Structure 1
Amino acid sequence: MNRIAATFFTFLSISLFAQDDAATLKNIYKQSLTNGQSYAWLDHLSNEIGGRLSGSLNAQKAVEYTKAELEKLGLDKVWLQEVMVPKWVRGEKEVGYFMANGKKYEVNICALGGSTATSDKGLQAKVVEVKSFEELAELGEENVKGKIVFFNGAMQADLINTFEAYGGCSKQRYAGAYEASKLGAVGVIVRSLNLRQDDFPHTGSMGYLDLPEDKRIPSAAISTNDAKKLSEIIASGANPEFYFKQSCKQYDDVLSYNVIGEITGSEFPDEYMVVGGHLDSWDLGDGSHDDGAGVVQSMEVLRLLKESGIKPKRSIRVVLFMNEENGLRGGRKYAEVAKEKGENHIFALESDSGGFTPRGFSFDCSDANLAQIEQWRSLFKPYLIHFFEKGYSGADIGPLKNDNIVLAGLRPDSQRYFDYHHASNDTFDAVNKRELELGAATMTSLVYLFDKYGVNQIKNAPQIKD
């Protein structure tokens, strides 16, 4: 075969492969948008079960429901993986207000996950406002002792990547009580991590690190509207007293489960690919965006593969992780068992950024793998999927990281995500059916391509050009 003929044959082979993959993706999207199951699953998970805090009865109901639904798909294997998880209970609805200039201002608050309770009578003290740990340190013990510290550090509004804005101030929520207690504070109020001004307090995990129990102080979130109001009162020169009452309690760890389903690979059954989200949620809403959407999208990946007539070469698992929100026990347990069994995981994809319109993926992988992934970009272009960059993948799949695996995170449009994140308005009505189904199809398409071309063998994939 001469050089011209060989070049033509190579070009023809690549074109045929590209056409075949494009046709497969088109069918996947069609199946998801016209015959999808993800929205119905989310409806049941959200409206029939509700919030699924680790260790709760609802979390167990979610385990049983998703296991039963996976069994209906006719997968090769479905099983539960035991994992011990924290059990923290919120108790009665929290009460909060502050007094200034002879007037009472009621506020919307909620206990942060893992916080200790106030006394039965509640906690009342003068307030000191800071916007960072540095400001807190500058005040010193003489200005903090005996007071409630009000952390009013806002998410940076001019950052387009809202997760970057979240990361910039989330440490106030997690470690605020720890830092304030060291200076003698008696309680902590934290501005909700929300880019919008509204009346919803947003919970989330907090920790006391190495603080002894007798030094642990109550910690609560306050809505952005009420944070603004409190800050304005302080700026006016008033010296308000803040009162709040919460009855949350930490119990001993309890038994729960990761839910796992598998399609066993036809050619390389010992090469494992994972797609997943976390089954637990916070308790204020029903966890539809965080992370019911990721759960049902991940389940839908396996269903869509079967509906599309795709017979995976590699073993593909859906893993519904328990306890991402306040411990990451499920993700760590799955990685621990995989290591003990010597399982070769080559790829893992997580959806934990809400059920909004998909924009693409971020990848935690080698530059060589990313360069090859970039060649699939044109396959996703008809679906307006353009974001393919190195970056964070997901908390639950993070423990699987090694030098060879490709970790990926679905990246939906994030501009509305923190309006709902960890708040009581994270409910089923906030999820758009079509956006959810587009995300499921996008995830399935990436899984299909990695299964077809592999990771270590990804250099054999066709060189698709724009």
Structure 2
Amino acid sequence: MRILGLIMFLAVAMGFSQTSDEKQIRAIYSSTLTEGKAYDWLNYLSNQIGGRLSGSIQAQQAVEYTKKQMDSLGLDKVWLQPVMVPKWVRGTPEFAYIENQPGMTNNVPICALGGSVATPGVGIKADIIEVKGIEELKELGRSKVAGKIVFFNRPMDPTLIKTFEAYSGCVDQRYSGAEEAGKLGAVGVIVRSMNLRLDDYPHTGSMSYGDLPVDKRIPAAAISTKGADLLSTTIKLNPKVKFFFRQSCKQYNDVESFNVIGEITGSTYPNEIMVVGGHLDSWDLGDGSHDDGAGVVQSMEVLRLMKVNGYKPQRTIRAVLFMNEENGLRGGNKYAEVAKSKNEKHIFALESDSGGFTPRGFSFDSSDANLERVLKWKSLFEPYLVHVFEKGYSGADIGPLKDQQIVMAGLVPDSQRYFDHHHAQNDTFEHVNKRELELGAAAMASLVYLFDKYGILPN
């Protein structure tokens, strides 16, 4: 009895039981690496359904497919949660060129930004002015901007090892550039793609007009990084260069869609809910394999791993496949709204929305006490080369759940290649490595297991 008491005391002091937890985590990794379903699910989502733009037929097909797959896992409950989402359609392929002088043009790859208005049917051709950001645009003022196309050309900072920091450092020009340029009388906006690589893929993404009246809204498009460099060089050589682009995108009325939710009910504390999730919608240029098909199938795999390993969770574990993260966050907000209306108690939420690359660790939005205990679990993950446990951002869709009592986490994969594919035509299935995808799912399931077994510490 004394030995048993000592073992229990040490387990509490360390924050985990070394031997039993090592064994359980080893089983999780073995199961997904030998009989995992995530890669097959992603294959269907990507190659049979394709890009899943919010409000599209493909998004609805993805809802139906993932619900069917979760139904097949023998979960305690699977359901659809209705949510109204925006419906924006790209239309016919965009077209653009640089005109040095009449008859002398160079075509460049562009794509409309999500939520943009269309150009007139014949397109727009105007003088173009290059700026490095919104502040520089404002300094120029209306007299130098009115009637022109504004070219935002601030690149991602290549010196930042954490590429999401580089993305955050320049994405404001994509999101708010058209709003600010429209206020100054510009007729259009072209934005350098958020990409660290030089290539011919334009990268789309969400943008906003703020409170601009409809008649003041101007079309906005992204240009590939190689196209941006060519345009910038051309402007330096010939400041009188003109730019032409044409796009036919359109915003429709909101339509009904769904979050897809699967649940294993807790055996001991069923009212304590743990969420693992990713977003089911994607942009339409590729098939959304990394963003965020990977997170969707990894979240489903977490529940499957619990079932096939015979693990009976103490707490309720849900996989939530959120709709409309890309251009509205309606799914994340709806899930949190319903949870609040039902007085549900969420103690932990984990999101995967950084691609299906090799997992490096997790970032945590939590109290210092819970973070300190998580750090004691690092040794359990080190055999799997998962070593990053840090305080930081968790995820957009689980963000609305945040309060002082929940621990929130985000999977941190290697990010060096992520923005090569993000929101672009080459975000496709062949760029996801099966083993990397499965390792990410196993890391997520292992973390969920530990939080289920030990709960969270009070603040």
1:106 Cα deviation from its structure 2 partner:
0.3
- Give how far 1:8 is off: 7.6
Change (3 A) 1:243 1:275: same
Residue 244 to residue 21, structure 1, CA distance change in 2 (3 Å): same
Alignment-derived partner of residue 448 in structure 2: 447
Q: Distance in 2 between matches of 1:140 and 1:112?
A: 24
1:202 aligns with 2:203: yes
Q: Summarize the alignment of residues 258-269 of structure 1 with structure 2, pairs less than 5 Å apart.
A: 258-269=259-270
Match of 2:56 in 1: 56
Give the aligned partner of residue 392 of structure 2: 391
1:252–1:227 CA distance, 2 compared to 1 (3 A):
same
Equivalent position amino acid for 1:120 in 2? G
Aligned residue in 2 for 1:96: 96
Q: SS of the residue aligned with 1:448?
A: helix
Distance of 1:358 and 1:9 partners within structure 2:
31
Aligned to 2:249: 248
State the 1:275 CA deviation. 0.2
What is the CA distance between 1:10 and its match in structure 2? 4.0
**Residues 14 and 25 (structure 1 numbering): CA distance in 2 closer, same or farther, change over 3 Å?**
farther
- Is the counterpart of residue 349 in structure 1 residue 366 in structure 2? no
Whether the aligned pair in 1 keeps the contact of 2:314 and 2:452 (CA below 8 Å) is: yes
- Give the CA deviation at 1:180: 0.4
Note the residue ranges of structure 1 that are not aligned, 5 or more in a row: 459-466
Contact map agreement 2:405 2:458 (CA 8 A) in 1: no
Q: C-alpha offsets along residues 407-439 of structure 1, whole Å, 9 cap, x if unaligned?
A: 000000000000000000000000000000000
What is the DSSP-based 3-state SS (H/G/I as helix, E as strand, rest coil) of the residue aligned with 2:244? strand
Partner of 2:42: 42
1:229 paired residue number: 230
Distance in 1 between the 2:94 and 2:298 partners?
Answer: 34
Question: Is the contact made by 2:198 and 2:225 (CA closer than 8 Å) also made in structure 1?
Answer: yes
- Decide whether aligned partners of structure 1 residues 141 and 449 sit closer, same or farther in structure 2, where only a CA change above 3 A counts: same
Tell me, what secondary structure is at the counterpart of 1:283? Answer: coil
1:216 maps to amino acid: R
Give the deviation of 1:133 after TM superposition.
Answer: 1.1
Whole-angstrom CA distance in 1 between matches of 2:139 and 2:233: 21
Alignment of 1:252-291 (within 5 A): 252-291=253-292
* Matches of 1:419 and 1:198, distance apart in 2: 9
Structure 2 residue aligned with 1:112: 113
Distance in 1 separating the partners of 2:173 and 2:12: 55
Per-residue CA deviations over 1:318-368 (Å, capped at 9, x if unaligned) read 000000000000000000000000000000000000000000000000001
Write out per-residue CA displacement over residues 290-318 of structure 1, whole angstroms, 9 at most, x where no aligned residue. 00000000000000011111100000000
Deviations 1:56-109 (A, max 9, x none): 000000000000000000000000000000000000000000101552110000
TM-fit CA distance, 1:238 = 3.7
1:31 matched residue in structure 2: 31
Contact 1:275 1:349 in 2 (8 A): yes
CA drift at 1:237: 3.6
* Change in CA separation of 1:126 and 1:9 when aligned onto 2, cut-off 3 Å: closer
Once the 2 structures are TM-superposed, how far is the Cα of residue 232 of structure 1 from its aligned partner? Answer: 0.5
Deviation at 1:192, TM superposition (A): 0.2
Could you say what secondary structure the match of 1:82 adopts? strand
SS in 2 for 1:169: coil
What letter is aligned with 2:50? Answer: G
d(CA) in 2 for partners of 1:118 and 1:360? 44
2-structure distance, mates of 1:93, 1:44: 25
**1:116 shift after superposition:** 0.1
User: 1:176 Cα shift?
Assistant: 0.3
In structure 2, relative to structure 1, the CA distance for the partners of 1:127 and 1:305 (3 Å cut) is same
Alpha-carbon separation, structure 1, partners of 2:5 and 2:117 = 71
Letter in 1 for 2:78: V
Question: Match of 2:168?
Answer: 167
Residue of structure 1 in register with 2:148 after alignment: 147
Compute the RMSD of aligned alpha carbons: 1.7
- 1:293 counterpart letter in structure 2: A
Give the secondary structure class of the aligned counterpart of 1:274.
strand
Q: Is the 8 A contact 2:130 2:152 kept in 1?
A: yes
Partner of 2:363: 362
- What's the TM-score once normalised by structure 1's chain length? 0.96
Percent identity, aligned pairs only, is 67
Q: Shift in Å at residue 17 of structure 1? A: 2.1
Q: Distance in 2 between matches of 1:13 and 1:83?
A: 42
Mapped to 1, the partners of 2:247 and 2:189 lie a distance apart of: 12
Q: CA deviation at 1:13?
A: 8.6
Measured in 2, the distance between the counterparts of 1:284 and 1:379 equals 39
For 1:370, the aligned partner's letter is L
Distance 2:167 2:13 in 1: 43
1:339 equivalent to 2:340? Answer yes
2:10 and 2:180 map into 1 onto residues whose CA distance is 62
Q: Which moved more, 1:328-337 or 1:92-101?
A: 92-101
- Mapped partners of 2:325, 2:38: distance in 1: 21
Aligned-partner Cα distance in 2 for 1:54–1:457: 38
Give, in angstroms, the shift of residue 12 of structure 1.
8.3
> CA 1:453/1:90 → structure 2, altered by over 3 Å: closer, same or farther?
same
* Unaligned runs of at least 5 residues, structure 2: none
Work out whether residues 186 and 217 of structure 1, in 8 Å CA contact, stay in contact via their aligned partners in 2: yes
Residue 461 of structure 1 corresponds to which residue in structure 2?
Answer: none
Deviation at residue 234 of structure 1 after TM alignment? 1.0
Instruction: Write the distance in 2 (CA, Å) between the matches of 1:428 and 1:197.
Output: 21
Q: In structure 1, the residue corresponding to 2:221 is in which secondary structure?
A: strand
Which AA in structure 2 matches 1:380? Answer: F
Quote the offset at 1:385 in angstroms.
0.6
Equivalent-residue separation in structure 2 for 1:280 and 1:374 (angstroms): 33
Alignment of 1:67-82 (within 5 A): 67-82=67-82
TM-score (norm 2): 0.97
Alignment of 1:116-131 (within 5 A): 116-131=117-132
- Provide, for residues 250-295 of structure 1, a one-character-per-residue CA deviation record: whole Å limited to 9, x for no partner: 0000000000000000000000000000000000000000000000
Task: Give the Cα–Cα distance (whole angstroms) in 2 for the partners of residues 121 and 8 of structure 1.
Answer: 76
Would you say the 8 A contact 1:101–1:238 is kept in 2? no
Distance (whole Å) between structure 2 residues aligned to residue 9 and residue 155 of structure 1: 50
SS in 2 for 1:276: strand
8 Å Cα contact 1:350/1:409 also seen in 2: yes
1:462 corresponds to:
none
